[in-house]
């Protein structure tokens, strides 16, 4: 009989310890705080508010689109401008040097013409003329490799884009408005005019008085 009571007491103690370990959830209170929906909660917005919000989003997207297109256009313009500047620097970077060297070419040409018109026919003079002619040809070959072209329009029609007329001369033997003499040759650098050719141009003969 005593053993039965002890067992019942032990079971009661164990049950009490288990009850202490159980966490009883709090009961829901009827007056608990309920979160109010925010202004951005589309579930609680009226159709007018939704339309206004959609229009605002479209306007903002359009502004971003315009800004993106403008930035892209500016980048394309910058790229084209940079490419042109690089091409310009490559093609015409030596233009100033060519302009400074042209008087040297002119001097060599004039010296050769003067030597050829002189009466001296000694071997030394002929050797000097030949040497100056060789220097001139080498000089022009170097300039040709750099894109420099000579403008020597003798006998060609006058071109105001490439030639500069210093006088008009009556000449019935040639067509009017044609170049009859080249006073100074012109030069181009990769198609760009560096110096026009100084020329004399033929004109119609004046009618004789009866």
Q: Lowest-confidence range among 12-16, 22-26, 43-47?
A: 22-26
| CATH for 115 | 3.90.20.20
| Residue where a domain stops, chosen among 99, 125, 146 | 146
Encoded tokens for 122: 């000694």
The count of other CB atoms within 10 Å of the CB of residue 99 is 13
Q: Are residues 105 and 119 in the same domain?
A: yes
Q: Give the pLDDT of residue 35.
A: 41
Domain total of the chain: 2
Q: Do 176 and 191 fall within a single domain?
A: yes
Distance CA 195, CA 36 (A): 84
Q: Are residues 126 and 104 in the same domain?
A: yes
Q: What is the rounded distance in angstroms from the CA atom of residue 161 to the CA atom of residue 34?
A: 88
Domain range enclosing 99: 76-146
Q: Which residue has the higher pLDDT, 95 or 207?
A: 95
The per-residue pLDDT for 117 is 77
**What's 34's DSSP letter?**
-
Instruction: Tell me the helices (H) and strands (E) count for the chain, helix number first.
Output: 4, 6
Is 128 in a helix, a strand, or coil? helix
Structure tokens given for 143: 């300039």
Strands 192-195 and 163-170: unpaired
Other C-beta atoms lying within 10 Å of the C-beta of residue 125: 14
Is 130 domain-assigned? yes
Q: How confident is the model at residue 118 (pLDDT cuts 50, 70, 90)?
A: confident
**Does residue 109 share a domain with residue 171?**
no
165-207: pLDDT as tens digits: 999 998 888 888 999 999 999 999 999 999 999 999 998 766 5
CB atoms within 10 A of CB 98: 19
pLDDT at 91: 85
């Amino acid at each position: 009989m005593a053993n039965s009571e002890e067992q019942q007491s032990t079971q009661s103690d164990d049950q009490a310890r288990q009850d202490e370990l159980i966490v009883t959830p709090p009961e829901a209170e009827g007056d608990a705080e309920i979160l109010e929906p925010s202004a951005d909660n589309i579930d609680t917005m009226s159709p007018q508010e939704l339309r206004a919000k959609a229009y605002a989003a479209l306007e903002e997207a359009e502004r971003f689109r315009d800004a993106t297109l403008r930035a892209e256009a500016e980048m394309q313009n910058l790229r084209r401008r940079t490419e042109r500047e690089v091409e310009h620097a490559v093609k015409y970077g030596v233009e100033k040097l060519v302009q400074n060297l042209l008087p040297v070419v002119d001097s060599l040409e004039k010296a050769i013409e003067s030597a050829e018109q002189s009466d001296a026919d000694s071997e030394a003079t002929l050797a000097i003329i030949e040497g100056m002619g060789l220097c001139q040809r080498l000089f022009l070959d170097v300039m040709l490799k750099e894109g420099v072209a000579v403008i020597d329009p003798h006998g060609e029609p006058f071109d105001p884009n490439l030639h500069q007329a210093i006088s008009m001369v009556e000449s019935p033997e040639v067509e009017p408005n044609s170049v009859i003499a080249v006073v100074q040759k012109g030069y181009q650098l990769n198609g760009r005019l560096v110096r026009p050719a100084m020329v004399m141009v033929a004109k119609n003969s004046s009618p004789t008085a009866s």
